[in-house]
Amino acid sequence: VAATKKKSKKKKGGGSGGGGASGPVTKTTSAGKDLSQGKLWKLLVEDVLQHFLYTLEYNSATHMCTTCGVSRVSLLREFCNKTGVQITLKDYKFSLTAPLNEGDLACIVPVVKHTDFKVRQNFICDHN
């Protein structure tokens, strides 16, 4: 991945007005509080079926990990890499009913799939 330089643009008139990219996010929602492991797995199975036309034959993430021999830490790491979720670094106890809580979420970053842009014109260089 190539590193790019970002130009610094300062807004006129100070700027303690609102979060944005530089300020902390203070608004919290309770959308994920009611989401259990079972509900999340059901949503994941439906999403895989809808997008990839593939049926997951496992009852839960635990069933998949034990059947396939996948580590739960590896599964969590891949999920975070693919979705842009960043969690705090600690030793998670996957034997608990809720190994992650709200405080473990550090931030969510956008995932960029393609950064190369296709040139739409053919450029001809004449070397005379």
Q: Convert the pLDDT of each residue in 96-118 to its tens digit.
A: 888 888 889 899 998 887 777 67
Q: Domain limits of the chain?
A: 34-70, 83-110
Query: d(Cα 107, Cα 21) in Å, to the nearest integer?
Result: 12
Q: Is 106 helix (H, G, I), strand (E, B) or coil?
A: strand
Secondary structure letter of residue 94 according to DSSP: T
Q: What is the largest CA-CA distance in the chain?
A: 73
Query: d(Cα 91, Cα 112) in Å, to the nearest integer?
Result: 28
Q: Convert the pLDDT of each residue in 64-96 to its tens digit.
A: 999 999 998 998 899 899 889 999 999 988 888
Which pTM value belongs to this model?
0.56
